[in-house]
Each structure stands twice: as structure tokens, then as C-alpha cells.
Amino acid sequence: MPKNRAVLIDQIIKQTMRICAFSSLFFLFLIFLFILIEGLPLFYRVGVGNIIAGFKWAPTKGAFGIFPMIVSSFLVTIGALILGAPLGLACAVYLAEYAGKKKKLFLKPALELLAGIPSVVYGFLGVIYIVPLIRTYCGGSGFSLLAAAIVLGVMILPTVISISYDALMSVPRTYREGSLAMGATKWQTTYRVVIPAASSGILASFILGMGRAIGETMAVIMVAGNALRIPGSILDPLRTLTSNIALELAYASGDHRLGLFSTGVVLLIIIMILNYLANFVIRQKVIK
């Protein structure tokens, strides 16, 4: 093959790859654009405060307060984190520090499968098993903050585990050896040296887990009860930002529809902040 032709093919492939790579950026841009175009006008008309801090959601009557949903989204996310983060971290530590090659061989694919199960299946199992359990043993209808937190706690496990695991594995082997050679036990080495050295990555895994939890829709709709108020206890039903959009979009029109887009804008901003935080804590480490 003549040299010029080889160079040309190389260039074409490079440019094609570049277009593919930038297309994801383009899609992201489109999503932003449409959500902002549809969602922002209502903020101007009704007022940012009336939407973000408003308590009453009655979009057909001109009330677009989503404060209870913002609170609910955060409560569910924090609940999921309380349940999922320690479990996920423990699992990652076991995988990275204790599990032998054989155990890793079936644990890792099992975790990937956990990540691949559709959220409707989680929701379904939540409705069939967790909701009745809560109803029987804790009282209330069972559709509750607690049910949503349990289901989401399991759903964020793959995110927390895989990112924490990578962080733990990237701790140089030499740190462990240095500690072990000084007569530290395996566990002393793990919690005094390895976990602190991996702390930024572990923190990032929690934040990304939060992002996963706050964005989850289907499973939450199925188990949370979707009531329009701030829950007074963990046994009360609640409605998150994502649930609000999914539940009402089918029949919304006019300002109601714009109200849902405004909900989307708030959601987008929260997710952006979480992602920025995750990147920030990861970068912290690199600079040090």
C-alpha cells in the first residue's frame, strides 16, 4: 500500500472516532438545551422561590411548589446511603483485601449482574416483599420512605462497590507491605492504611451512589406511595422529583407540563452538583 493512502486512512479513522466521541457531548448539550428551554420560563413567571420553596403542588391551579419533593428526594437518597454505603464498602474491602482469586471469580460477575437487573424488577420485589413486611412489623401502609430507602440501598450497591473496589485496588501494594512488615495485622493494615489512602475514591463512590439513588424513578414510584407531602416519619409515603415527572407526564399539558420540566431542571442541577463533587474529591487526591 502506498504510504499516502495509509496516512489518509489513518486520518479518516481518527476523525470518525473524534466525531463519535464528541457526539455524546452533543447529546448532553441537546438534553440541557431542551430541559432549560421548556423549564426555565416557568421559573420567570412563577418565581424561583415559589417553585423551589413552595409547599403546594397543584399545577392545574397555578401552584408549582416542589419543596416537599426536593426534601423527599434527599431523604430517600440519604436513607439509601445509610443502608447501602456501609454494606457496599464492606463488600469492596472484602473483595479487594480478603477474597482469594476463586471467590473474586464469582463475586465480581454477581455484582455486575446486580447492576444489570432492571429497576422495575427491584420495584416489583419491593412491592411484593418489603412493603408487606414493613406493613406487618412497623405499621402504616408499608409504602414508605423506609421501603424506598431499602430498595435503593440495594440498587446503589454495584456503584458503591465497584468504585470503592477500584479505589482500594489502586492503593500501592507497598503501603500494605510496609504496614504488615511492621507487625500490623491484616485488619489493622486495612483500616489504618488502605482505607485512609483510598478515602477520596470511597467518598466519590458514595456521591455517585447518591446520584444513582436520586435519579432512580421506577422502583421508587412502586414502593414509595407517592404522597405529596414531606414525610413525618420513615413510615410515611413520599414523592420524589423523578417520580413526579414520571407519574404526571402522561396527562400533563400547558403549564402543568412546564411545571414538570421545571422539576427536571432542579433534578438536573442536583445531579450536576453531585457529579462535580465526585470529580472534585477524586481530584483532591491527585493533587496531594
Residues making contact with another protein (CB under 8 A): 101, 172, 174-175, 177-185, 188, 192-193, 196-197, 288
Q: In whole angstroms, how close is the CB of 106 to another protein at the nearest point?
A: 18
Is residue 261 within 8 A of residue 39, CB to CB? The reply is yes
3-state secondary structure of 113: helix
249 vs 233: CA distance, rounded Å: 28
Nearer to another protein by Cβ, of 127 and 193: the residue is 193
Q: In whole angstroms, how close is the CB of 105 to another protein at the nearest point?
A: 14
Nearer to another protein by Cβ, of 132 and 178: the residue is 178
Phi, psi for residue 229 in degrees, rounded to 5:
-160, 170
Is residue 223 within 8 A of residue 151, CB to CB? The reply is yes
Q: In the chain, which ranges are E strands?
A: 57-58, 63-64
3-state secondary structure of 238: strand
Nearer to another protein by Cβ, of 47 and 172: the residue is 172
Nearer to another protein by Cβ, of 133 and 197: the residue is 197
Q: In whole angstroms, how close is the CB of 198 to another protein at the nearest point?
A: 11
Q: In whole angstroms, how close is the CB of 255 to another protein at the nearest point?
A: 55
Q: What are the grid coordinates assigned to 29, written together?
A: 448539550
- CA nearest neighbour of 162 among 220, 214, 208, 230: 208
Nearer to another protein by Cβ, of 139 and 178: the residue is 178
270 vs 288: CA distance, rounded Å: 28
Q: In whole angstroms, how close is the CB of 197 to another protein at the nearest point?
A: 6
